[in-house]
Amino acid sequence: MTFSNPLPDRTFVRADGMLAEFMCHAHLLELTVERARELRRIHRFHRPDECIVHLEVAYVLLIEDGD
């Protein structure tokens, strides 16, 4: 069976590991607010539409501010 639109591959890395600091196209596992602040500083110059880490960090910090 062949799918016309296969699901995109996704890479997951632990948020507290070094890969989260260097990979922009990775989804983060177990991201804490403290680590989100660190990764925000590291990825701050990356464009949000090109850096998944940037987006996930922004989401976690937005949720934290809403509480």
Mean pLDDT of the chain: 89
pLDDT of residue 67: 64
Taking the CA atoms of 16, 18, 22 and 24 in sequence, report the sign of the dihedral they define.
negative
What's the confidence (pLDDT) of residue 48? Answer: 86
Q: Sign of the C-alpha dihedral, residues 36, 37, 43, 45? A: positive
What tokens were used for 46? 């990356």
pLDDT of residue 7: 58
Residues comprising the chain, all counted: 67
Q: Is 3 a residue whose pLDDT tops 90?
A: no
pLDDT digits (tens, 9 = 90+) for 15-43: 999 999 999 999 999 999 999 999 999 99
